[in-house]
Amino acid sequence: MRLLLKITLTLIIVVVAFVGFAVWKPMAASRMLWPTLERVMLRKPFVGITTAGVVQAGLFRIESTGASTLAVVNAARAFLDTLNEEQREKVSFPVDDQEWRRWANVHLSYRRGVGFLELDEEQAAAAYGLLAASLSARGLETSTNIMRLEGHLADLMNDFDQYGEKRYWLTIMGAPSLTEPWGWQIDGHHLVINFFVLGDQVVMTPTFMGSEPPRATTGRYSGTVILEEELAAGLEFINALDEGQRSVAIIDSDKVMNNNRGELFQDNAVVPYEGMRLSTLTPEQRKIAQRLIRLYIDNARREHANVKMIEILRHWDETRFAWVGGTEPDSVFYYRIHSPVVMIEYDHQVPVALDGPDLPSRNHVHTVVRTPNGNDYGKDLLRQHLLAHPH
């Protein structure tokens, strides 16, 4: 009995001590615990997001798209050329490495790769050059504005250890090539982009974009704002539906929690189809829905976004739209566009860093774009490539 009591007291002391350390030095505590959390969360092999736990096969194929990736390859090589030997070692991973899946949209995550905090002016310019070569002008603007808003959050919290516009990390998977598979990833709080390349094919998912807050009204980044179009376009679409369509699309009128299903460590999430089939839309409603989808897909360069939209339209009749929350101009809400080849989510979330009621608000927004059925990170394309060209 005494031994049991001593063990119990010792465990309590250790737990209290670690909690105290975590409060005092949260990032240091994260570096200690996060690798263990990753191992637990990623212990199961990658499957992909499915509707019932089984991948729908035959959706993706290796083919020429005619959308050149030369600019991305050259930009990645130029970035690598600016790095010293130690940095190149830190930034480089095999194309099939688990590093793809370690991304996390929370600020306490332990990041790998090369961080903007350690890049000099030339190296940082080359890193932004890689983003600019890969993304559309709008996608680049949103990405850089998210980074600025993270700096704004650091100012609001007076905490530059956990937050800041340079707390983002880049990794390169494989060697930049016009023929062999490779890719890059940017990982940080509220901004994660996975960019897989095989020949002239691109898979830009998972992509996570968000912020708390999504608008800066004071300080050095005053006027910076993100995701306003995605908010307005979602409301436009739900309010373009007739009463019967809305009764199917709105799966819950009460928004009381976070609803996103595709965030960190959710590579194998089972997300059943919910809501209204887009096959029931009128021609005018269909135009509004496609404009909404393009806001997300057009974060990639137009030529690659067009290829993705063709893929999405091929499965239009299988695509569902689901809504949670109100539909008034000032409502908080969640929506999901979901098909065999894309899952798009927009979610107003509860506060984490800033003060406020423990309810979703417009002051904290998350968006996620996924490729279901096994092709996030281009994994199905990579699987097919390796079957045809064993390495």
Judge whether 388 lies within some domain.
Answer: no
| 249 lies in the same domain as 350 | yes
| 154 lies in the same domain as 256 | no
Judge whether 64 lies within some domain.
Answer: no
Q: What are phi and psi of 349, to 5 degrees?
A: -120, 165
| 234 lies in the same domain as 337 | yes
Judge whether 47 lies within some domain.
Answer: no
Judge whether 385 lies within some domain.
Answer: no
Question: Residue 30's pLDDT band (boundaries 50, 70, 90)?
Answer: low
Q: How does pLDDT run across 249-292, given as a tens digit for each residue?
A: 999 999 999 999 999 999 999 999 999 999 999 999 999 999 99
From residue 295, give the alpha-carbon distance in Å to each of 86, 259, 287, 292.
38, 20, 13, 5
**CA atoms of 193 and 186, how far apart (whole Å):** 5
**CA atoms of 76 and 119, how far apart (whole Å):** 15
| 249 lies in the same domain as 196 | no
Judge whether 116 lies within some domain.
Answer: yes
Q: How many CB atoms lie within 10 A of CB 154?
A: 20
Residue 3 reports pLDDT greater than 50: no
| 188 lies in the same domain as 246 | no
**CA atoms of 199 and 222, how far apart (whole Å):** 41
pLDDT score, position 74: 98
Domain interval for residue 110 = 70-201
Q: How does pLDDT run across 176-207, given as a tens digit for each residue?
A: 999 999 999 999 999 999 999 999 999 999 99
Cα within 13 Å of Cα(195), Cβ side = 29
- Give the pair of three-digit tokens for residue 166: 């340079």
CB–CB of 252/349 below 8 Å?
Answer: no
| 137 lies in the same domain as 258 | no
pLDDT score, position 2: 52
pLDDT score, position 390: 77
State how many domains the chain has: 3
| 20 lies in the same domain as 124 | no
CA 131 to chain centre: 15
Judge whether 234 lies within some domain.
Answer: yes
**CA atoms of 215 and 362, how far apart (whole Å):** 10
pTM here is: 0.93
Question: Residue 5's pLDDT band (boundaries 50, 70, 90)?
Answer: low
| 171 lies in the same domain as 135 | yes
Residue 24 reports pLDDT greater than 70: no
Judge whether 383 lies within some domain.
Answer: no
Q: How does pLDDT run across 140-159, given as a tens digit for each residue?
A: 999 999 999 999 999 999 99
> Angle 382-191-315 (CA atoms, 0-180°, nearest 5)?
50
| 312 lies in the same domain as 245 | yes
70: left (phi over 0), alpha (psi -120 to 50) or beta: alpha
Token pair 């030369």 in the structure block, residue: 70
Q: How does pLDDT run across 324-359, given as a tens digit for each residue?
A: 999 999 999 999 999 999 999 999 999 999 999 999
Question: Residue 309's pLDDT band (boundaries 50, 70, 90)?
Answer: very high
Token pair 């050149």 in the structure block, residue: 68
pLDDT score, position 26: 59
